[in-house]
Amino acid sequence: MISLLLTAAAALPSSFQRRSYMDCGNAPYCGVLVLERGGGSGNYYHDVPEVHGLWPETGNYGNSGCLNGDPNAQIPSVSCYTDSSFQEHEWTAHGVCAASDPDTFFNTVCNLSSAPLQQMTDLKNQGYSLSQIATALSNSGYPVFNRNAGHDQLELSACAGSDGVWRLSADFNADCNF
């Protein structure tokens, strides 16, 4: 089983911690699926949990490869995003590294986020805090990598093999080493 290499976020307040470094192991691609609970401020405030995006962990965030999609490709309208300008940002900032085209990227994001978002919604409606939701998701088998209380969001670890198909996973060598 791969152990994710975590770096300390010592100087940061516990309510907002920088994401930890992610080691893909032998998987070519790894990253996080970011889900917002909706209790943050500004754009992070909304009534129901929403998907933020799928972020390959490259550069200072991890050693993931990049699929090099076309940043100028036409962005489709998808149901799991409510803001088309935000959708465009997610493609150009993260999607171009996570998929070869926007259709694949957004279908992946919507499919991967559907079940954990439903569980987050149910738990938020019951009054669960972000920390309690993180524990419940983890107990349900979701690979919670990080929690960001400042933006009221969770990051679930994900990986893709040489086929470019992303999966939620805590064991990159077993799930995406091909």
**Confidence at residue 11, expressed as pLDDT on a 0 to 100 scale:** 32
pLDDT tens-digit series, residues 109-135: 999 999 999 999 999 999 999 999 999
The model scores a pTM over 0.85: yes
How many other C-beta atoms are found inside a 10 Å radius of the C-beta of residue 54? Answer: 25
Give the separation between CA 145 and CA 170, rounded to whole angstroms: 8
Residue spans per domain, the chain: 29-176
Domain 29-176 has CATH 3.90.730.10: yes
How many other C-beta atoms are found inside a 10 Å radius of the C-beta of residue 110? Answer: 15
User: Mind giving me the DSSP string for 41-68?
Assistant: SGGGB-SS-EEEEEEE--GGGB------
